[in-house]
Structure 1
Amino acid sequence: MKLVNVLCLLNMTHIKCRNGVYLFSNIARLTVPDELVSWDQEWLDYNPPNYTSKGVFNKPWADPDLTDLDFKPKWNEQDGPVNRVSYTSCYKIENGYPLNPIGRTGLRGRGLLGKWGPNHAADPIVTRWKRDFKNSIVVDSDTSKPILQFCAIQRRDTKEWAIPGGMVDSGEKVSETLRREFQEEALNSLEATEEEKIKLNEMIADFFKNGQKIYEGYVDDPRNTDNSWMETVAYNFHDDCGTSVGKFPLQAGDDASKVQWMDISRNLNLYASHLNFIKMVCEKYSAHW
């Protein structure tokens, strides 16, 4: 099975984007039964509420409304600096609006998202082995497998723990986003002096050259709607010897309120589809899960 399809199948019924009231609003999603998520299933009277947050209007990083006659997006294409190509599949256009490729969410519009159609993010999964005071790798007593830790941030908005990722800026390479987001959220580079920023860049430059792609595709995100949705590229950056990443001066910044090394297990409650990404990393290293 192709990497791009794995998470789409896991989230085919939309768990986190059919969660009742939309984030930071009083707008209730229309309840969508599992069997009617797919657009292929006929639902003649499907008429969910339409909601786009006022916070995305007239922002330089956001699209205009589709009622704007001067706005003529190139769907499923590279549209100037804006990437409107889905990692998942070619999405359909209905009455001028892009349709979520995984199916109905019970809400039309853009919600909190800036772009119509796919909104691309990048997620750096930075890992190391958990070690004891003797610097030996810690093994779980039940599974007899070594325990991985990942660099986790607590989001300011939802208070959930997450991978320190973020949106890919228009015209930005994913590799640049991965480094930038980690520095802003886990190393607080936005508040660093120019001298400190240079040191941070030198410190992580080599480490971030050797990432391995874990996932590329659709994300079951609570911000998703019928017409706007999140997609991501997740890369793993692993410190096998514990000699580089463990020395990073972790400090929460930007969209993060806290940052820490977190033991990985199946019992974690993480934002959006992040637990699925973490599980893929554990399987890659045959680590405790």
Structure 2
Amino acid sequence: MASGCGARLPHSKALTSPYPGSQVRRSPVPRAKVGWQTEWEDYRPVEYTAGAVLAGPSWADPQIDEEGFAPKFNQRDGEVDRQSLHGLYLVENGRPRNPAGRTGLTGRGLLGRWGPNHAADPVVTRWKRDGSGQKVAHPVSGKHILQFIAIKRKDCGEWALPGGMVDPGEKISATLKREFGEEALNALQKSPEEKAELEQQLQKLFSQEHFVVYRGYVDDPRNTDNAWMETEAVNYHDETGESMEKLPLEAGDDAGLVQWVDISEELQLYASHSHFLQLVSEKLGAHWGQGPAAECQQ
């Protein structure tokens, strides 16, 4: 299992307004002042934490100043992993600081955890084939076209990978399989017999050879100065197409639609998901765009 490389840390989607699911507008942050290393005495970010988070669901931390709440940042805190994939992050006035820079918003927004919020994104791929079973090549690049399983998110209507949040104490491998089953196969709504059959198919799919595409910070529109998304994206590729031929795709949980989609640089996807697909395309020598592929930088 080889590890992939990731995008540079600074963000752009984490600067968009209004904040998702609200009318709250971030304080504007000029590109030159995103990085914390640039002094900005007049920086006055807006404070916002969504009501759904403040209601205290099981997946969310209390407010930072709530009595009895003493999070252990930069380490395992019971079952909650507060470590960043980028190493140590600063904590100022009891609040963790986004390692990618300013976002124009403090608090947690829609994110449950102060500091890193860990997710896992399965990138399930196969080769596009014609009616006779032959791989289809792109007419310009001449490279074979990859397809991946995409979901259309209910919350924002954008196409994305069928991933989700890592539960406290859960292994990444378990999250990848669980989220794929829930969002791409509608596993939560299946009968016990159907779930048992799906589990066999998932076990076969997720026990295949795979590689880690990316581990790190995600440029996500939900990020704030004090809470941010990090993910591990893992590619499961079906070289022959036989393992996924009978995969019963059915949207479920957070997904409104699910389908196989051709991979190319024209795709507009949620958060950093397009970048993950570019890395997979480069790894497998597949079509991405008409220009030279970007080099991976560690």
Distance 1:246 1:16 in 2: 35
Which residue of structure 2 aligns with residue 133 of structure 1? 131
**Correspondence for 1:36:** 33
Give matches, 1:14-163, under 5 Å. Answer: 14-57=11-54, 58-163=56-161
Cα contact 2:14–2:222 (8 A) shared by 1: yes
Written as runs of structure 1 = structure 2, the 5 A alignment for 1:252-267 is 252-267=251-266
CA contact (8 A) 2:4 2:212 kept: no
SS at match of 1:206: helix
Give unpaired runs (5+ residues) of structure 2. Answer: 289-298
Q: Residue 280 of structure 1 aligns to which amino acid in structure 2?
A: L
Cα-to-partner distance string for 1:94-132 (whole Å, 9 max, x where unaligned): 111000001000000000000000000000000000000
What is the distance in 2 between the residues matched to 1:229 and 1:209?
30
- Please name the residue that 2:291 is paired with: none
Q: Secondary structure at the match of 1:247?
A: coil
Is the deviation greater in 73-82 or in 207-216?
207-216
> What TM-score comes out, normalization by structure 2 length?
0.94
User: What corresponds to 2:279 in structure 1?
Assistant: 280
Shift of 1:89: 2.2
Over residues 114-165 of structure 1, what are the superposed CA-to-partner deviations in whole Å (9 max), with x where a residue is unaligned? 0000000000000000000000000001000000000000000000000000
Runs ≥4 in structure 1, deviation > 2 angstroms? 3-6
| Equivalent position amino acid for 2:252 in 1 | G
* Equivalent residue, structure 2, for 1:204: 202
Give the TM-score normalised by structure 1: 0.97
One-letter amino acid of the structure 2 residue matched with residue 185 of structure 1:
E
1:166 aligns with 2:164: yes
Q: Distance in 2 between matches of 1:70 and 1:245?
A: 49
Q: In 2 relative to 1, CA 162–125 (structure 1 residues): closer, same or farther, beyond 3 Å? A: same
3-state SS of 2:6 partner: helix
SS at 1:17's partner residue? helix
In structure 1, what residue type is equivalent to 2:30? P
The code of the aligned residue for 1:162 comes to: A
Task: Tell me the CA shift for residue 4 of structure 1.
Answer: 8.0
User: What CA deviation, in whole Å up to 9, does each residue of 1:190-235 have, x standing for no partner?
Assistant: 0000000000011121220132111100000000000000000000
Q: Decide whether the 8 Å contact of 1:224 with 1:230 is kept in 2.
A: yes
Q: Percent identity?
A: 54
* Equivalence for 2:237: 238
Aligned to 2:296: none
Q: Matches of 1:231 and 1:246 in 2, distance apart?
A: 31
Change (3 A) 1:5 1:92: farther
Is residue 190 of structure 2 the alignment partner of residue 195 of structure 1? no
Q: Could you tell me how far apart the structure 1 residues matched to 2:215 and 2:123 are?
A: 13
C-alpha displacement of 1:246: 2.5
The runs of 5 or more residues in structure 1 that have no matched partner are none
Partner Cα distance (2:246, 2:281) in 1: 22
Q: Which amino acid aligns with 1:21?
A: P
Shift of 1:5: 6.7
Taking the aligned partners of 1:4 and 1:24, their CA distance within structure 2 comes to 32
* Alignment partner, residue 176 of structure 1: 174
- Is 1:89–1:101's contact at 8 Å kept on the other side of the alignment? no
State the match for 1:6 in structure 2: 6
Please, what is the CA RMSD of the aligned residues?
Answer: 1.2
Q: Would the aligned equivalents of 1:121 and 1:230 in 2 still touch at CA under 8 Å? A: yes
